[in-house]
Amino acid sequence: MKKILLYSVIFLPYILFASSNKEFFLQGNAEFFKGNFVQARHYYEQIPHKSSVVWQNIGNCYFNETNFSKAILCWKRAEQNAGLFQYRQLLTYQQHALEKCHCLPENMLLWYGKYALLCLPAMLLYVLLLIAFIYLLVVCYQCINKENKACRKQSLFLTILSIFVLLLLLIMHKKITVQKEAVVMSPNVSLYAGPEMSFHQKTFLPQGCIVQLLQQQTNMSKVTCSYGNGWICTNDIEIV
């Protein structure tokens, strides 16, 4: 795992940074290569406007420091503007970290596999949908030009159906991405049935567990995850 993370840090592009940020980035890479993960993270964290690459590298440092919950948090933040290759790489890293935290990575991967298209970064999803829509329009146009009336009806039905499906995907994607995610930062956090600690304790969430925020109050937050739904202390989580 260390070799994979090291390769990621050294070869991910840094040419998009400003000159001052580039210096911090290169110094962080140099320290990471030496095995000085704390010092490398210190350089990365000095970059004011962190890109997905920077967040990924900070997560890599935390992973090698065996701070797996912090690593997962940074990798989740890197997902927001990640490309397809980096996005898949981040999911793999999170799986390794969740295994170290004794979470349920198989449930996370099952969820991502089931809703893989909806979990893609927004811009990438829109591009894929646009390509599919153009392809359908070309096919329908070819059918319309034919004299066969049955083919014309089928093409019209296909066009309407495709527009409906595309709109449905966009609505579902918006619904999923609007929900905030958080990472459990404390070990063995209690999951309660209600918004107070006096309620029934349903189970414990391990450190590093990824949750979705359903409702947030001052002291308690309602979350859902692979372990179930319930309320946990707000201080025990950190929002992505």
Average pLDDT over residues 143-152: 63
pLDDT tens sequence across 21-36: 788 998 999 999 999 9
pLDDT grade, residue 228 (50/70/90)? confident
Superfamily of domain 2-102: Tetratricopeptide repeat domain (1.25.40.10)
Statement: residue 98 has pLDDT above 80: yes
Q: What is the mean pLDDT of the chain?
A: 78
Greater model confidence, 10 or 238: 238
pLDDT attached to residue 102: 77
Three-state DSSP string of the chain:
CHHHHHHHHHHCCCCCCCHHHHHHHHHHHHHHHHCCHHHHHHHHHCCCCCCHHHHHHHHHHHHHCCCHHHHHHHHHHHHCCCCHHHHHHHHHHHHHHHHHCCCCHHHHHHHHHHCHHHHCCHHHHHHHHHHHHHHHHHHHHHHHCCCCHHHHHHHHHHHHHHHHHHHHHHHHHHHHHHCCEEEECCCCEEEECCCCCCCCEEEEECCCCEEEEEEECCCEEEEEECCEEEEEEHHHEEEC
What topology is assigned to 181-239 in CATH? SH3 type barrels. (2.30.30)
pLDDT attached to residue 20: 66
| Domain assignments of the chain as residue spans, ordered by start | 2-102, 122-177, 181-239
